[in-house]
Homo-oligomer: A and B are copies of this chain.
Amino acid sequence: MIRAGIVGGTGYTGVELLRILASHSEVDVAVVTSRSDAGLRVDALYPSLRGSIDAIFSLPDEETLATCDVVFFATPNGTAMQMAEKLLARGVKVIDLSADFRIKNVKDWEKWYGMQHASPDLIAEAVYGLPEVNRAAIKTARLVACPGCYPTAVQLGFLPLIEQGLIDTDQLIADVKSGVSGAGRKAELATLMSETGESFKAYAVSGHRHLPEIRQGLEIAAGKSVGLTFVPHLTPMIRGIHATLYSQASADLQNIQTLYEKRYAQEHFVDVLPNGAHPDTRNVKGSNMCQIAVHQPQGGRTIVVLSVIDNLVKGAAGQAIQNMNLMFGLAEEHGLKIVALYP
């Protein structure tokens, strides 16, 4: 059994880790920390976990966490970078669901996240936890930086075209729509039901923190710099991300459908839908799948890729557990064969 700790167990990614790990036969959730709710039973805060998780929130404590084989950070940005080094030094593997180790360029990170990085030396070692790109490195990593939710949906959608050099990478457009759980479990006016229900809007058009992360991933695939316009939108639903990706074919394309099917043929969690399909976020709700469809409207040069995930699963907790499975030599899909909740 893998002894797991979760730092920051009171947010949506924390409780989603608990939901999935409750059914994972190789993991024992030994420690769940929360500064605000220490002493409280986990299932008192989350009655959905009654009967499944028998744990009490504790204060985050290095000694206790060091008894774990792996520690997940489901914390706000800026926490994992304070604690990761000490845990790694004591032989604990660290899986960070926050943004602390995602960006390789420290200055870039510090600009977008507005704070000084506490552990810049670890950035180089951290492996970006997108298994469909970095599987081999993840298997041997001590520290994995899980991708953001938007970056997961956008990269999986664009990668096949970029890796094959088939599109003009100067003018990529990612128009992405997210459910409100992506904003986290924080008391804020902007995410009240009265403020977000029955309404739709774009936000952060001038620049969102996931922009440099997506660009970094696409540039690695392209082997050169790319031009990306990324517009996130808030959708009146709780879970789900839908990325609509636009690019211009740089040459005559024969069969994009086949290209995508081949690229992801061996992937457990990327599912290329039949030609002409329109993925619906409901079909991945609660599951770790990314469903993708590719289109060339009216046979023109514009390629439209549609990519959907559940932001809390493949965009956060599920992908983190997928990484854990790889790091501990388990089958990658172990505990993750969850059928989406429809309707």
Give chain A's interface residues, CB within 8 Å of chain B. 12, 15, 19, 22-23, 46-52, 171, 173, 175, 177, 179-181, 183, 185-189, 191-203, 205-207, 227, 229-231, 233, 235-240, 242, 244, 246, 248, 271, 273, 276-287, 289, 291, 295, 297-298, 300, 302, 304, 306, 308, 337-343
Which residues of the partner chain B approach A186 to less than 8 Å between Cβ atoms? 189
A206 with B337, Cβ < 8 A, contacts A199-B281, A237-B198 known: no
Smallest CB-CB A-B distances: 8 pairs: A199-B282, A48-B340, A201-B280, A194-B343, A193-B193, A48-B342, A175-B175, A48-B283
Could you list 29 examples of A-B contacts with CB < 8 Å? A12-B194, A15-B343, A19-B342, A22-B339, A47-B277, A47-B280, A48-B284, A180-B193, A180-B194, A185-B189, A187-B189, A193-B195, A194-B343, A198-B240, A198-B282, A199-B237, A199-B282, A200-B235, A200-B237, A202-B278, A203-B278, A205-B278, A205-B306, A206-B297, A227-B300, A229-B304, A235-B236, A236-B237, A285-B341
Contact A198 B200 (CB under 8 A): no
Closest chain B CB from A48 CB (angstroms): 4
Contact A237 B197 (CB under 8 A): yes
A236 with B236, Cβ < 8 A, contacts A191-B194, A306-B205, A342-B19 known: yes
Report Cα–Cα, A227/B302, bound state, in Å: 10
Which residues of the partner chain B approach A206 to less than 8 Å between Cβ atoms? 276, 295, 297-298
Report Cα–Cα, A207/B284, bound state, in Å: 25
Contact B236 A302 (CB under 8 A): no
Contact among B203, B280, B337 with A200 in the assembled complex (CB-CB below 8 Å): B280
Which residues of the partner chain B approach A231 to less than 8 Å between Cβ atoms? 244, 297, 304
Contact B198 A12 (CB under 8 A): no
Contact B19 A281 (CB under 8 A): no
Other A-B pairs, 10, CB within 8 Å; known A202-B278, A236-B236: A15-B342, A50-B283, A177-B177, A185-B189, A200-B242, A202-B242, A207-B297, A238-B343, A246-B246, A286-B286
